[in-house]
Amino acid sequence: MSRDVRHQWLVVIFGLGCLLFSFPLLALFNHAALIFGVPLSVLYVFAAWLVVIGLTFLSHERRN
Amino acid sequence: MIGGVMIVVALAYLGVLFAIAYYGDWRAERGRSIINNPYVYALSMGVYCTAWTYYGSVGRAASSGLGFLPIYIGPTLIAVLWWFVLRKMVRISRVNRITTIADFMASRYGKSTSLGGLVTVIAVVGIVPYISLQLDAVSASFTLLWQHPQPVGAPSVTRSGLDTALWVTLGMAAFAVLFGTRHLDVTEHHEGLVAAIAFESIVKLAAFLTVGVFVSFVLFGGPADLFGQAQQDPALAGLLTLNDATLDYGQWAWLTGLSMLAILFLPRQFQMAVLENMDEQHIRKASWLFPLYLLVINLFVLPIALAGLITFRNQPMDADLYVLGLPLMAGSELLALFVFIGGLSAATSMVIVDTVALSTMVSNDLMMPLLLQLRILRPGERGDYGGVLLAIRRVAIVVIMLLGYVYFRVTDDAASLVSIGLISFAAVAQFAPAFLGGIYWKGGTRAGALAGLISGFLVWAYTLPLATLHSISGAPDAFLLNGPWGIAWLRPYNLFGLTGMDPVAHALFWSLFANIAAYVGVSLLTRPTVLEQGQAARFVDVFNYATNSDAVFLWRGTATVQALRSLLERFLGVARTERLLDDYAHRRGVDWAATQQADAELVQHAERMLAGAMGAASARVAIASVVQEERLSMDEVLRILDETSQVRAYSRQLESRTQQLEQKSRELEAATTELRAANERLQELDRLKDDFISTVTHELRTPLTSIRAFSEILHDNPTLDPERRMRFLAIILKESERLTRLINQVLDLAKLESGAAEWNTTEVNMTTLIGEAITASGGMAAEKGVQISTELEAEPSLTVWADRDRIMQVMLNLLSNAVKFCPTEGGRVLVSAARQGRWLVVRVADNGQGITREDQKVIFDKFRQGGDQRRGRPQGTGLGLPISAQIIDHFGGKLWVESTPGEGATFIFTLPLPADDKP
């Protein structure tokens, strides 16, 4: 993947992040039900957070 | 008991910070930076996490569940775009030697002192609540520990332990002064500071994770246990989701947006992320490491909050202090001490960096321009102004800390840490329109930026800090409820009757609305000055300029080198000035001894160096005081910068292109002529090649034909008598020899012409060689009765550098030619060799019929032989002379013939003698 394309990915990740942390998706997982002892809402937020970080990591650190 | 220990440990911790800072500076001076790596860079950005995060997040989570998180989600999202946004800010700052965010704005909008001052005021006023938050948290945690083992939650334990806050304020101010103003120069990186801040980031993270693990796994049975208990408890179950009681999606969204702006424009973030950046590539790692740091430090916030709510169910314990209260409650004093140090590190890191940033702004962008313009400071006079700058900074730090204390005393006791912090966030968000507009939109003008900032700031001040002063212990007064003078639409929390938003969201909306409208509107209505346009281009198109762009000279003036030097010395010190000027001279090849008058480039350079110490706007004023500025004519400036200038430049380019085109077409014509000549030459060569081939074929066919003819005779007449048979066989033999020779020579010539021949160049003694050649030709000469004599210079050193075999080939060829063309009776050949200057000249003369003038021209061509063709078949191949000529030519000599018909011919060739050979 060329550098340019990778930089375009950043914009995509930003858009994805905004989507993950905004109303419709946030509401979708807004339940107190415990998954592995953690409320779904909490699990979702931290998981989405990790996804954004992970994708940013990949687009910066992956060497072709 | 623990109180005394706490003070000792806190002082020791601050001592460690000093040690790290000095170590960092010490390493930097030796060029072995400890902060020049992306990990330290990312950690230093952890200055974002202050006492707000450390104590306040838990408090926030205790009342709004996940509501503490948007403040960290926003930075995570913007960090994805850092590669574009932050890198641009870093590049602009480095190129323009930016010292603070106020300097950045002032510089962008035409080095405007008024804008720099305004940004400074907004930043100071805006950050004061934030500082008060740190004082609040530290003094509250201090009080809690100090009063231990008094029962936690007893009425006397309030956050505003009476004078604790003042002592904390003074202590931190002293620390910040000592720590933050160790040096004057702010343009170089504060390596020690960054190292200390990165260390603090590790300490607070470790402390918070430790207490998180302790609370979750030691006091409770893990996060699952806590969440389980919370779910069973109707009072706590609501905290596990986003809902009306905690935080709705609207609040979530604007808090996220607000924190996106805060991470970019908080003075301390700007300091760490932009000004202290050592390498743009570090942004790559930081843009995922820093969000990861935020994620990790927030992992245990909700568990701790739930644990606190469960543990202190019926006690008046401030949720902001759960982090410290829980270990104390559990009797783990050592852990509590560690937690306190963690909180102290969170608070001190914020205070240090913010006071460094703010005091620099105050001195560079507010006080210095004022002092210079009011002529209280006259750079033309003697004096050390570096000291003045430092003094201003120290006073500024103390004043800012005291303002924080005052704010802390007069505002609502009941306000949570987060709500105080958000006020500051909303203040720095006012920078966003003019800042982002400044780096992406060339149309933004100084007037627009001023208008936007002033409107936004006023609305912010009215709707947030002013309003909070009118709400004591959460109870609003008449000003808040009914508006000033009873005007309902001016109510600070419900401006223009807007309801349904919480105060911060409301303030943010109206302030940014006013801000953006004024910025864009006024920018479109005003015309930027020349300098503004120049700076706009430099900022917006920063990636199009060279890294050290001195290319745009927007300014022209004259000054003496001496005046500039003494100005620099006054602000930067003698040693540093000397070093900087030496660097400059070295780079540009300037000799100071011979230079009296400073040119525009040097003036610009001096201004940039000064800007590093005192900000762009101040530097401009200072420079103007010693320089006779020539006003650049509009025309000149336009030519350099303006869009018109680009048009002009284009038209000029077009003109020169036209000239170039004309030039080109002339060149093209010449080239065409050359091409035509070359083509003719090629055609000629082609024709010659064809001729050559047909000649070769012809020449080959002649011997072949005779071989074949005689073979046939022999074949058809088996009864031929032996004598004739022998004669015919001899002819066949001779002709095939001739054929072989011919083919060999053709190949030889082809090799010579293509340059593929091998040459073994050695020292060749020509006297010997000629003797050998004559001996070799002796048989042929004797057969024809030709007498060969020599006339060689007695000197034995007729030595040349050549290929012995090749030269021998030439000699044999010339000798055989000479013998061939000698008369059958009385033939004589004379070979002579002599030195003529640097040349060896060899002559081979015969007394044959000579060569006609016409033939002299052609005998060196292939297959052309001299002599009368009618006198019988030629006796050679016609290739000997061309080959000889090529060989002599290869060694740098010449082969030619001199002849008068009827008087013999002389073939002469020359070879260069070695230069060092003595005559």
B679 alpha-carbon distance from chain centroid = 50
pLDDT of residue B467: 75
Tokens of B683: 């055609």
Rounded CA-CA distance B20/B357 in Å is 20
Q: What is the structure's pLDDT at B471?
A: 67
Q: Which of B658, B657, B639 is nearest to B648 (CA)?
A: B639
Q: Which of A7, A17, A41 sits opposite B242 (nearest CB)?
A: A41
| CA B484 and chain centroid, separation | 56
Polymer length in residues for chain A: 64
pLDDT at position B870: 42
CB neighbour list of residue B617: distance below 8 Å, 6 or more residues apart:
B103, B106, B107, B111, B112, B113, B115, B116, B364, B365, B369
CA distance B885 to B895: 6
Cα distance between residue B53 and residue B309, in whole Å: 18
Put simply, whether B452 touches A (Cβ < 8 Å) is no
Question: Which structural domain, as residue segments, surrounds residue A32?
Answer: 3-61
| Residue whose tokens read 């424009």 | B265
For B463-501, the DSSP string reads HTHHHHHTEETTEE-HHHHH-GGG-GGG-TTSGGG--SS
Say yes or no: B485 contacts chain A, CB-CB below 8 A: no
Residue B741 phi, psi dihedral angles, 5° rounding: -60, -45
Has residue B682 got a pLDDT over 80? yes
- Distance in angstroms (rounded) separating the CA atoms of residues B818 and B847: 8
Closest CA to B867 of B850, B889, B879: B850
pLDDT tops 50 at residue B633: no
Per the model's pLDDT, the better-predicted residue between B696 and B445 turns out to be B445
Q: What is the pLDDT of residue B529?
A: 80
Interchain CB distance below 8 Å, A53 and B295: yes
Q: CA B902, CA B373: separation in Å to the nearest integer?
A: 108
Which chain B residues are within 8 Å of A54, Cβ to Cβ?
A: 288
| Contact criterion met (CB below 8 Å) for B772 and B808 | yes
Residues paired with B347 in a beta bridge:
none
pTM score, whole prediction: 0.65
Distance from CA of B239 to the nearest CA of A (A): 9
Q: Do A32 and B287 touch (CB under 8 A)?
A: no
CATH 3.30.565.10 occupies which residues in chain B? 759-912
Distances (CA, A) of A23 to A18, A28, B66, B71, B506: 10, 8, 14, 16, 20
Position B683 pLDDT exceeds 50: yes
**Residue among B69, B80, B256 with most chain A CBs within 10 A, to mutate:** B80
- CATH 1.10.287.130 range(s) for chain B read 653-752
For residue B684, the SS3 value is helix
Asked if B557 contacts B600 with a C-beta cutoff of 8 angstroms, the reply is: yes
Q: Counting one residue from A and one from B, how many pairs have CB atoms under 8 Å apart?
A: 98
Nearest to B80 among A10, A31, A38 (CB): A10
Residues in chain A with CB shorter than 8 Å from the CB of B222 are 37
pLDDT at B635: 44
* B291–A49 C-beta distance less than 8 A: yes
* Residue range B185-199: mean pLDDT, rounded: 79
Considering the four listed CATH numbers 1.10.3430.10, 3.40.50.10300, 1.10.287.130, 3.40.50.720, the one that applies to the domain covering B653-752 is 1.10.287.130
- Range name among A15-29, B61-75, B167-181 with the lowest pLDDT average: B167-181
Contact: B84, A10; criterion CB under 8 Å: yes
Q: Which of A32, A38, A50 sits opposite B295 (nearest CB)?
A: A50
Segment B605-624 shows an average pLDDT of 75
Tell me whether residues B284 and A61 touch, CB distance under 8 A.
yes
Predicted local confidence at residue B301, as pLDDT: 93
Residue B375: φ, ψ to 5°? 60, 30
pLDDT in tens, B442-497: 888 999 999 999 999 999 988 887 777 776 655 667 676 676 777 777 777 777 77
**Residue A31 C-alpha, separation from nearest chain B C-alpha, in angstroms:** 6
Q: Which residues on chain B are in Cβ contact (under 8 Å) with A26?
A: 242, 249, 252
Count structural domains, chain A: 1
**Residue A39 and residue B227: Cβ atoms within 8 Å?**
yes
pLDDT mean over B316-338: 87
Chain B hits for A43, CB-CB cut-off 8 Å, are none
Asked if omega into B703 is within 30° of 0 (cis), the reply is no
Note the pLDDT of residue B548.
45
Tell me the range of B228-242, B340-354, B602-616, B876-890 where mean pLDDT is highest.
B340-354
pLDDT tier at B360, thresholds 50, 70, 90? confident
Residue B832 vs residue B855, higher pLDDT: B832
Mean pLDDT is lowest, of B307-311, B454-458, B664-668, for B664-668
The minimal CB distance from B76 to the residues A26, A36, A53 is found for A53
* Amino acid B263: pLDDT: 93
pLDDT at B155: 39
Residue B895 buriedness (CB in 10 A; 0-12 / 13-18 / 19+): buried
Q: Out of A23, A39, A50, name the one closest to residue B249 (CB).
A: A23
Query: Residue A3 has what pLDDT?
Result: 61
- pLDDT tens for B717-765 read 888 888 888 888 888 888 888 888 888 878 887 777 777 777 888 888 8
What is the per-residue pLDDT across B497-538, written as a single tens digit (0 to 9) for each? Answer: 777 778 888 889 999 999 999 999 999 998 888 778 878 887
Sign of CA dihedral B86, B87, B89, B90: positive
Interacting residues of B402 by C-beta distance below 8 A, sequence separation 6+: B169, B173
Asked if B80 lies within 8 A of A7 by C-beta distance, the reply is no
**Beta-carbon separation of B253 and A14 below 8 A:** no
CATH superfamily of B2-429: Sodium/glucose cotransporter (1.20.1730.10)
Question: Per-residue confidence at B222, pLDDT binned at 50, 70, 90?
Answer: confident
Nearest to B262 by CA among B469, B123, B388: B123
Model confidence pLDDT, tens digit, residues B129-165: 889 888 888 888 888 888 776 654 443 444 444 567 7
B240 touches chain A (CB under 8 A): yes
B909's enclosing H/E stretch is strand B905-912
B contacts of A17 (beta carbons < 8 Å) = 76-77, 80
Which is it for the CA torsion B85, B86, B92, B98, positive or negative?
positive
Element (H, E) at A48: helix A40-61
Q: At a CB cut-off of 8 Å and minimum separation 6, what does B874 contact? A: B865, B867
Averaged pLDDT score across all residues of chain B = 81
Dihedrals φ, ψ of B597, to 5°?
-95, 130
The minimum CA-CA distance between B76 and chain A, rounded to whole Å, is: 8
Q: Tell me which range, B81-85, B558-562, B575-579, B863-867, is most confidently predicted by mean pLDDT.
A: B81-85
In this predicted model, what pLDDT tens digit does every residue of B808-851 receive, in sequence order?
Answer: 888 888 888 888 888 877 888 888 888 887 888 888 888 888 88
Q: What is the mean pLDDT of residues B32-56?
A: 89
Radius of gyration of chain B (CA): 49
Distance from first CA to last CA of chain B, Å, rounded?
Answer: 110
Name the band, by pLDDT with cuts 50, 70 and 90, for residue B640. Answer: very low
The CATH code that applies to domain B759-912 is 3.30.565.10
Domain(s) of CATH 1.20.1730.10: residues in chain B: 2-429
Predicted local confidence at residue B458, as pLDDT: 92
pLDDT given for residue B1 in this prediction = 57
Residue with tokens 């963690």: B342
- pLDDT, one tens digit per residue, over B97-123 is 788 899 899 888 888 888 999 999 999
3-state DSSP assignment of residue B35: coil
B227 at interface of A, judged by CB pairs closer than 8 A: yes
Distance between CA atoms of B612 and B114, rounded to whole angstroms?
19
Tokens of B7: 């003070």
C-beta atoms of A14 and B81 within 8 A: yes
In B81-110, the residues whose Cβ lies within 8 Å of chain A are 81, 83-84
**Where does the pLDDT of residue B383 fall: very low under 50, low under 70, confident under 90, or very high at 90 and above?**
low
Q: Three-class SS of residue B183?
A: coil
Of A17, A39, A46, the CB nearest to B295: A46
The H or E element that residue B423 is part of is: helix B417-428
Find the CB nearest A26 among B252, B288, B302: B252
**Residue B179 near residue B170 (C-beta atoms within 8 A):** no
Amino acid at position B748, single letter: D
Position with higher pLDDT, B621 vs A35: A35
